Amino acid sequence: MVVVMKPGTTQQQIDHVVHLVREMGLREHVIVGTERTVVACVGDDRFKDRARLETVDGVERVVPILAAYKMASREVKSERTLVNVGGVPIGGRKVGVIAGPCSVENRQQVLRIARAVKEAGAVALRGGAFKPRSNPYSFQGLAEEGLEYLAEARAETGLAVVTEVMSIDQVDLVGRYADVLQVGARNMQNFNLLSRLGEQPKPVLLKRGMSATLEEFLLAAEYIMARGNTQVILCERGIRTFEDYVRNTLPLAIVPEIHRVSHLPVVVDPSHGTGKSHLVQAMCLAAVAAGADGLIVEVHFDPEHALTDGFQSMTTAQFAAMMRAAKRVAEAVDREM
């Protein structure tokens, strides 16, 4: 449930509500909006007595939340959440583009790609230092050495760094280098990892599991938010279907649907969402037209020799051309890039 405070309530009144919520065995999240403050109560409140809070000073009303997820729901917070990606807010008017190689391969590779995507207008650099690979004998990433190259690329270009964390024991290490911690599709329901990410200060880019429903996706975000970290970006990266001309099927209707049911920003990954570089530009434009708050795109100067996901990586020139085209689409839907 959510306790909606009257406009102009005092801090003392809010503190009193918080005290009562805790007494009921629930946890609180105080959300200060531009017009009023609401106190979201999390925990199992099915058998709690709402009436106890309804008559308290400063309280306007107490509303039950129908969605299974609470913190991620628009019922709790109607204003859009802005997530800070290295100083750039994602979730507002600007469509933020995160671009870079699938994997960090070596120092020169990352620096060269970082310079190119920065020049083309990206706001953040992606690149995996820890790679979740289907085959245990495939390239697994450069680990900390890769994180160092990403940090060097940030220092040179000013791009924020978005990189994947695969397990709880990597959270502190990756958090020291990254501006945003990426949770991969295969880890979307690694609930212990999600909870741990809720207890650290860096924003999280949460990728949708390849067989997860929208509700499961939002419940995964809820795991992070319930622990206090509300800086979550949802990332649609395509799902497994019977269709096989693409690596994954990219369901873009999820973008307006997420905006309807949640206040969290949503970013689209047309690289994994199609698995074919010749389809990426069209899906980038479509994602922007559908209202995506950002894109995450794999880029390599030599896709044929990329260690991972070369078949779906744009060349740096293709990326620059996509950015020019997407900018025009963004303007047509009252956004900027």
**Residues lying near ligand PEP in the complex (CB under 6 A):** 102, 128, 132, 184-186, 207, 237, 272
- Give the residue at shortest CB distance from Mn ion: 102
Residue 129 C-beta: closest distance to Mn ion, Å: 13
Residue 101 C-beta: closest distance to Mn ion, Å: 8
The residue among 20 and 295 lying less far from ligand PEP, judged by its C-beta, is: 295
The residue among 86 and 141 lying less far from ligand PEP, judged by its C-beta, is: 141
Contact flag: residue 309 with Mn ion (CB under 5 A): yes
The residue among 130 and 223 lying less far from Mn ion, judged by its C-beta, is: 130
Residue 183 C-beta: closest distance to ligand PEP, Å: 8
CA neighbor of 80 nearest in space, from 293, 295, 236, 224: 293
Nearest-angstrom CA–CA distance, 326 and 186 = 29
Token pair 């750039």 is found at 88
| Residues 99-118, interacting with Mn ion (CB under 5 A) | 102
Near Mn ion by CB under 5 A, which window of 162-170, 234-242, 305-313, 315-323?
Answer: 305-313
Nearest-angstrom CA–CA distance, 139 and 322 = 29
Residue 72 C-beta: closest distance to Mn ion, Å: 26
Helix then strand then coil, % of the chain, to nearest 5: 40, 20, 40
Residue 269 C-beta: closest distance to ligand PEP, Å: 6
The residue among 173 and 210 lying less far from ligand PEP, judged by its C-beta, is: 210
Nearest-angstrom CA–CA distance, 191 and 176 = 22
- Amino acid identity at 166: M
- The distance from CA 116 to its chain's CA centroid, rounded to whole angstroms, is 23
The residue among 154 and 208 lying less far from ligand PEP, judged by its C-beta, is: 208
Q: Which residues on neighbouring strands pair with residue 181, listed in sequence order?
A: 163, 204
Is 63 in a helix, a strand, or coil? strand
The size of the chain, in residues, is 337
Q: Which residues lie near Mn ion (CB under 5 A)?
A: 102, 309
